[in-house]
Structure 1
Amino acid sequence: MNITEVTNYLEELAPLHYAEDFDNVGLLVGNPETIVTGVLVTLDTLEETVNEAIAKKCNLIISFHPIIFSGLKKITGRSYVERVVLKAIQNNIAIYATHTALDNSKNGVSAKMCEVLGLDNTQILIPKKGIIKKLTTFVPVQNAAALSAALFAAGAGNIGNYDQCSFSTEGTGTFRGNESSSPVVGEKGKTHAESETQISVVLESKNETSILNALKKHHPYEEVAYDIVTTENVHQDIGLGMVGELPEEMDAKEFLLFLKKTMQTDCVRHSELLHKKIKKVAVLGGAGSFAIADAKRAGADAYVSADFKYHEFFKAEKNILLADIGHYESEQFTKTLLVDYLKKKISNFAVVLSEKSTNPIYYI
């Protein structure tokens, strides 16, 4: 199995187009055609991570955070990023990163946090925009049913718990082919009017290529008329953060102690304790201060994330408990998520959980 075949499985869980625009995800170092001898899964890729991969005979590192985030103009070993890239190249080790593609996955980072905390009735905290598109095309009436079926088979028309969703109207299409044309109906050089069905279907952007291929393959016309627009609709199953409910409500202090133990952190920075029970909890792995308002709008009693600044704790405004458990701590279980997922998909070589902690922050 080569690297592309392995990463194709990963992209079923976390399609790269789920990633935020600022991010750098996918294969960062290596040849996608390289045959994989073993996979090492880590949160960060450091020099010691590459050493671990060498020792365990793994030539593919699956990392949550991308070691290359912004452009590198030189690779001379002067920074830790350059040293990692150099060592990986010198030892024929590939590096792949998922980052915000996995953050936005329904079964990704925040879902794992919910699982560890035992939250029920979970849903996406900030559903993602720009994922849902609409395809409109025109086809002779007698071909409409067959074309719709082909589009559905390619992944079009899925909305939440429903599939094969479309809207059709009938009208008259006109066209005239030039001397180089080969019209299926009508004659070249003459204006032709045809009874046509206009078909509109929604699609997820990850399926756009396969759906367009199906359209062109199954449409009877020599030239296929269609348009695709990106909608403002949000995708309820794709997005950042999640919100769910504890099995039993807790006092605020009791919840913080539970959080500290369950998320295996040495420190929980939090806002003022509230004189109300904690039942509904919002979570977001990594730096999540931007979502405080979203957690409040969702009606969460507590919001668990990381990297809150001093003034951001004031945003609690006595109606939500903000808990900063640390960046590494909020994402630490992501490694297990990826290992468990890949082991179910791949059995012909080792998928190894990194034993190294890459947390750069220590407490005294």
Structure 2
Amino acid sequence: MKSVNGNEIIQVFESWSPKKYACMPNDPIGLAIGTLNKPVTKVLVTLDVTNEVVDEAIDNGCELIIAHHPPIFMKLSNLRTDNPKGALYEKCLKNDIAVYAAHTNLDVAPGGVNDLLADALQLENRKILEVSFEEKMMKLAVFVPVDDADALRDVLAKAGAGRLGHYEACSYTLEGKGRFRATEGADPAVGEIGELHIEEEEKVEVVFPQSMKNKILKAMLNNHPYEEPAYDLFTMDVDTNKQGLGRIGKLKQPMTLREFAQFVKVQLDVPCLRAVGPLDRVVQKVAVVGGDGNKYIRAAKFAGADVFVTGDIGFHMAQDAEVEGLSIIDPGHHVEKVMIKGVAEKMASLCADQKLPVEFIQSKINTEPFQFI
């Protein structure tokens, strides 16, 4: 298989799950070990980076690991190879395996960890539980010959324009006539020098986050048939790009807490879980946060959730939730393993769109540290 540069793969990844979405101070995301400036043919996707996972990457010929949990979470005071952590880093370096971590930015990203969990729980009419990122949206209106409009729309969509929630390639088109006269020195794509030309055109409108302005304009200008494209650019005061942690939505049908607990066990593939609240209580509105959701109990209650699905709930937090009438299902932190399949499939699709020949392998190593007896 022809290789691509590791930086190209991560550029694609960050077009979906950019670092700016990270919502934890000093979250150690990004390249953690090795270099991305090298050929990459295979990428291993994993929740955690352990010795067994690195061996799996070696056995599969992977040059890059994309992980959810950063392998270096705290700043290192030294890098000794005679302790377990140091030996792990040494193994990666000796085998030329780079490790890239996407932590809370992947939690927040549309289609990321929290959406994958909401998908598994079959939540409908979902919304963000707590907004953590917000930026203005912009609109590009560009005039293009009818015969070239589809190609330009496709280019703009691939550059990231026209993404609205769970929809992509969104645009609006209005047909009309463009008039212009090319003067001496021009090199017109249509029409003749000195003659007034009338061209059947389409006005193509797309929206995008403000931070993507330069990328979208470059894509439009590099692929427009006209020497001097006519376009308008607006900053939108009403619409904003909002992203955040957690999701809240409704089950298709109400269930008792006991029934819902069994449903969660099956859907999230866990052997057991903890429940807070009367087991005969009927629940339908569900909030979910991947990983440790202790800080989001109030947000779940304020959003009107009947039950909150999250991991690592503390004793006193559980007591407080019970007093306030919020049921809790704690299936553990490791349910974030849903990102392995989700990220591998998403990246395979995105790289195929970019014609980047790279294989994404789903880790089969179970990194759950707890045993249930």
TM over 0.5: yes
Alignment partners' CA distance in 1, 2:44 and 2:162: 38
TM-score scaled to structure 2, two decimals?
Answer: 0.71
Alignment partners' CA distance in 2, 1:346 and 1:209: 22
Native 8 Å contact 2:257 2:278 kept in 1: yes
Alignment partners' CA distance in 1, 2:269 and 2:162: 43
Aligned counterpart for 2:305 among listed residues 294, 300, 303:
300
Native 8 Å contact 2:113 2:290 kept in 1: yes
1:350-361 alignment, distance < 5 Å: 350-361=359-370
Number of residue pairs matched? Answer: 307
CA distance change for structure 1 residues 362 and 11 in 2, over 3 Å: closer, same or farther? same
Aligned counterpart for 1:39 among listed residues 40, 43, 48:
43
Report the Cα offset of residue 234 of structure 1: 7.4
Q: Indicate the residue corresponding to 2:256 in structure 1.
A: 251
Deviations 1:157-208 (A, max 9, x none): 99989999xxxxxxxxxxxxxxxxxxxxxxxxxxxxxxxxxxxxx9846426
1:1-364 alignment, distance < 5 Å: 1-20=4-23, 21-129=25-133, 131-132=134-135, 204=209, 206-207=211-212, 210=215, 235-236=241-242, 238-273=243-278, 275-316=280-321, 317-328=323-334, 330-346=335-351, 348-364=357-373
Bigger mean CA offset, 76-85 vs 58-67 = 76-85
Alignment partners' CA distance in 2, 1:78 and 1:309: 35
Q: Indicate the residue corresponding to 1:193 in structure 2.
A: none
TM-score scaled to structure 1, two decimals?
Answer: 0.73
Alignment partners' CA distance in 2, 1:78 and 1:19: 33
SS in 1 for 2:346: helix
Alignment partners' CA distance in 2, 1:294 and 1:101: 19
Alignment partners' CA distance in 1, 2:372 and 2:55: 26
Structure 1 unaligned regions, length at least 5? 136-144, 147-152, 165-201, 215-227
Report the Cα offset of residue 286 of structure 1: 0.3
Report the Cα offset of residue 124 of structure 1: 0.8
Report the Cα offset of residue 266 of structure 1: 2.2
CA distance change for structure 1 residues 13 and 73 in 2, over 3 Å: closer, same or farther? same
| TM-align CA RMSD | 3.6
Native 8 Å contact 2:45 2:65 kept in 1: yes
SS in 2 for 1:333: helix
CA distance change for structure 1 residues 310 and 9 in 2, over 3 Å: closer, same or farther? same
CA distance change for structure 1 residues 158 and 118 in 2, over 3 Å: closer, same or farther? closer
Deviations 1:62-112 (A, max 9, x none): 111110122223211244332221111111111111111110112111111
Q: Which amino acid aligns with 1:46?
A: T
Report the Cα offset of residue 211 of structure 1: 8.0
Q: Which amino acid aligns with 1:360?
A: P
Report the Cα offset of residue 332 of structure 1: 1.4
Native 8 Å contact 2:137 2:210 kept in 1: no
CA distance change for structure 1 residues 205 and 97 in 2, over 3 Å: closer, same or farther? farther
Report the Cα offset of residue 289 of structure 1: 0.9
Alignment partners' CA distance in 2, 1:157 and 1:352: 29
Q: Which amino acid aligns with 2:289?
A: L
Structure 2 unaligned regions, length at least 5? 143-155, 173-206, 220-234
Report the Cα offset of residue 33 of structure 1: 1.7
Report the Cα offset of residue 212 of structure 1: 10
SS in 1 for 2:284: strand
Native 8 Å contact 1:13 1:105 kept in 2: yes
Alignment partners' CA distance in 2, 1:54 and 1:156: 37
